[in-house]
Chain A
């Protein structure tokens, strides 16, 4: 074997033995250890083969523990990777990193974090994509049946901007110590912008956000039994909200109450089934004028703070039938 092909269409770094060994040296995991079976092919993949793909993606060795953790998180049952990779819907595992490892290995959570320009952001997500293609068979037209796909499917990884957040970061909210590093995977679409340069209250900003989020046509509108709407507040929007002493719980409650769609808007659209009212299941029996929330409870909303200067936030529509998973990342020396 003298060179490897590029499954995602971009040039790859050739995975030489020397480069792969550099990646394996940074983890205590044995190269021959199996990470898991990657759907939709359910082919088992080892730590070493994962490292081969991370090298190809352009990762630096210190990024590898994040790749491994994100891969393992995505394999947990509640994530529904089998559905996420194969679906016609344009979703893909997207990664949010919390804790000290983000700064240590250079994962951007500030200006243009979701865009181009940072090696760690660009390559960690790409490494996952290469694993899903090379091991899972999530190749367009075969194991990946996306109608359009999306640019995030080349890989999407950001850090939460914990310094700029007025609240506990995502991993602390989920029971981890602030000094621990974690990775969270979401089965998400590319983020959608929420522009509000005018509102100066929590209600104002979050009404704009709720209006952006609650649309017939998103998977969340129908698959809200498990769905987790993910709002990525910019530091400026978060500061305005926190200035009024609103907690993250208050934010989620407001979104649950206001990110709603009138029942009649569902009729004969989306995944509506004329036989029984179809989805979302919790809307059956509601009157036409009643408002249907886009999640089953306030707790299902996910709120993170990422980004730099500016009064734009982001909304990540979700695949719907997937739950995000947070796991610890081994520290790097």
Chain B
């Protein structure tokens, strides 16, 4: 009898274990089969969660970008920025980037987009939506590019509602990589670079990122009906190096704004990530953006691309270590050293530029002439453009360390030139002993440039509690937004 009891117990345990094992084996086999299927989704389905049922791993990893939710107030960290951007939107509000999940929310929340009260008000044009959402190419396809680029940012509040996601990079019918924004191809053609039609799959793994992570400006384009459009344009006709774009902007006498203190016609660098990557070791060896930022992941029998786009250093085993056969620790030490080197010049350039603006402001005050100031303003314009170019493309010290230091070096040189000339002008007008005030914190810097911070917040809050809520309701009615997709998302900003 005892023998039978043992046999029964052993058999039952064996059945349990083997069932689990067989289930695991068969699940992995099934997954492999499913991997080869391409289900068809509507061409302009922009609700990201609609893709979950077909691509659960890609969707879930994309949704992980939600975890990158920290608000890092750059103006607080580097208050000189407020002075450098006096008279321009960035002096109001500027945070380090968060995950793709927050693209639309951060665009609505930033003080830069102001507090519109209807579809015709607000400081920004529609072009400010261009990189924020898969709804943008949908609207471009529906309304035409020029109609999209006309009017105020508030015009599309209820249409552009889903954050950067599937349709931004994929054609949902085939799931192939696709660039949906035409200006990239036009820019590549102007620069004489390989165009999209010539791009390999490996090139496309960077091109889809280059739709947004590049330097661009809004070109004012007159339309037949007397209106004008602000069209996203890449300044690459002279080339894609910092000097090439500087030349391009100088040739057309373009300015993003006039500096409030120094009266300099200024350029604002966006985020020339693709251009910088190209000049570094990874770019030169055609290691694509996706290779590091979207590494392959193995889950059981499935290999898929991680869509939690972020810092590859948080995931070195899957990103760096595929190619680098050294220890993670030694690689990290190397990278940190590069960052330190960049920070040293970055901070010096920022302080020199802030002083130059304030000194130029003083020079105007004591009666400097346009003629005296012209060469100085040119130096300031070029110095700040270069400094901005080197740091606005966030991990430039990583993508292209030598190029970053070279650009920061020339920025420092030009800022120094401006200040030497300024010292002479100030002396000539009897203000030789003027010393620019030291920038202590964000609040003091905002006072120096006369920024009505409290008023901006008040307008913004009115917009967020009013019009913005209507946008969400309308979008839901139009069937392009699922409120569940943003449920539980805490409204985070630097100002409330």
Do these two chains really belong together in a complex?
no
A: residues with CB less than 8 A from B are none
